[in-house]
Amino acid sequence: MPVHEIRSGDDIFRAAVDAMTSAPQRAEFTWRTIPAPSRMAPSTWACTGEILVHDEELASGRLVILHDPAGQESWDGTYRMVALVQAQLEPEFAVEAMLGDVAWSWVTESLQLHDADARELGCTATRVVSQSYGALASRPSTVDVEMRVSWTPEPLAAEDPETAIDLAPHFAAWTAMLAAAGGLPPAPPHIAPIAPTHHARAPRPEEAGDAR
């Protein structure tokens, strides 16, 4: 199975992805490419990523980038970012009624932090609380959050949207969403370029093709 689905001759998308993956990123972030969904757009690229601190995983997720030179009405553009963010939170979030608002702020502030201008931005945040009883009552309660986010990157120049796209700020914004969900403070990009690793944990199999 190919790692990515880039239409033959789509040099613009290939160049945008190459520039994106060569940009600097925060040190706690690792990632690797995964097979991309092939039915959602003529060209697609995907990866999984995680935030690691002292070998402890704080958050993980997936990013899919879609490109259709003809554009799609629901995107309002020719590119679409589709992101998944997953993290286990502190037990007090089990009774935190504002978790959805907090998760939404992680999205908007991460985009703003990296000057990733976006339109048609949407997010769904799901909280799962697991509590044990009876013979398992000694197990601590856990709170997991899952965020599904999608947006259309704004081109750098409106008069030439195909050749003026810069995906690096949007990749960094997704990384910042992961870091925020993992409890890390915002941080500017480090000077060292990111490189793919095999440490990232892919989302659960049932989620692999559920991007929109």
The per-residue pLDDT for range 18-50, each reduced to its tens digit, is 999 998 888 899 999 999 887 889 999 999 999
Residue 42 domain-assigned (yes or no): yes
pLDDT in tens, 82-123: 999 999 887 766 666 678 888 999 999 999 999 999 999 999
pTM over 0.85: no
Residue numbers of the domain that contains 74: 11-200
Residue 59 domain-assigned (yes or no): yes
CA distance 121 to 124: 11
H-assigned helices in the chain: 11-21, 99-113, 168-181
Residue 6 domain-assigned (yes or no): no
CA distance 179 to 173: 10
Residue 209 domain-assigned (yes or no): no
Residue 207 domain-assigned (yes or no): no
Contact at 8 Å (CB) between 48 and 203? yes
Residue 43 domain-assigned (yes or no): yes
CA distance 159 to 166: 15
CA distance 31 to 50: 6
Residue 206 domain-assigned (yes or no): no
